[in-house]
């Protein structure tokens, strides 16, 4: 299974905690080929490199001065263009970032890609034929691939 995990470096230089949970969730899926995707300044290269040492096959950094100050809609659009090229089965995003705190990028990305979405995931239950997750707000949900999930602070 091909998985893209969207990650962002927090202002303190660490990985956004919700994205850390998303990354760990991806690494726990058997036979997953994980790619990290970030839209950030070039200084995020070091963090992405360190994260690949934990198990991701590769990391992709989208960086351009034109992205500075991008809102959630612009961010979702830029990320969607990269995800289209990667053609994963599953995209995993943290529920929100600790700096923006809107929780809009993941759902916006799912909409831009026309992917099925399960938000507020607390547990990934099944990943074989279809994706089944337990959510914070809607109980158990099942969708077909390609799909996008946003995860809470799980794991």
DSSP state of 77: H
pLDDT band at residue 72, thresholds of 50, 70 and 90? Answer: confident
pLDDT digits (tens, 9 = 90+) for 22-65: 999 999 999 999 999 999 999 999 999 999 999 999 999 999 99
Q: Around 113, how many Cα atoms within 13 Å sit in the side-chain half-sphere?
A: 31
* Region 82-92 average pLDDT: 98
β-pair partners for 61:
38
Largest distance between two CA atoms of the chain: 41
Instruction: Give CA–CA dist 60/128, Å, rounded.
Output: 26
Instruction: Give CA–CA dist 29/12, Å, rounded.
Output: 29
Q: In a 3-state reduction of DSSP, which class is residue 112?
A: helix
* Region 114-139 average pLDDT: 96
pLDDT digits (tens, 9 = 90+) for 115-126: 999 999 999 999
Mean pLDDT of the chain: 94
Instruction: Give CA–CA dist 7/16, Å, rounded.
Output: 7
- DSSP H or E stretch at residue 120: strand 116-126
β-pair partners for 90:
3, 147
Lowest mean pLDDT among 78-82, 98-102, 136-140: 98-102
CA 153 to chain CA mean position, Å: 13
Please compute Rg for the chain using Cα positions.
14
pLDDT band at residue 101, thresholds of 50, 70 and 90? Answer: low
* Region 130-151 average pLDDT: 97
DSSP string for residues in 48-72: HHHHHTTT-SEEEEE--GGGTT--H
pLDDT of residue 105: 92
């Amino acid at each position: 299974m091909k998985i893209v995990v969207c990650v962002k470096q927090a202002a303190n230089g660490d990985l956004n905690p919700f994205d850390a949970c998303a990354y760990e969730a991806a690494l726990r899926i058997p036979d997953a080929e994980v790619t990290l995707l970030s839209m950030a300044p070039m200084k995020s290269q070091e963090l992405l490199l360190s994260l690949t040492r934990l198990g991701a096959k590769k990391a992709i950094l989208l960086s351009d001065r034109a992205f500075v100050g991008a809102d959630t809609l612009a961010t979702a659009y830029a990320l969607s263009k990269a995800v289209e090229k990667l053609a994963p089965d599953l995209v995993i995003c943290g529920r929100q970032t600790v700096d923006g705190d809107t929780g809009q990028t993941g759902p916006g990305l799912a909409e831009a890609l026309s992917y099925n979405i399960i938000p507020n995931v607390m547990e990934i239950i099944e990943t074989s034929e279809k994706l089944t997750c337990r959510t914070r707000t809607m109980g158990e949900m099942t969708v077909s691939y390609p799909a996008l999930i946003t995860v809470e602070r799980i794991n």
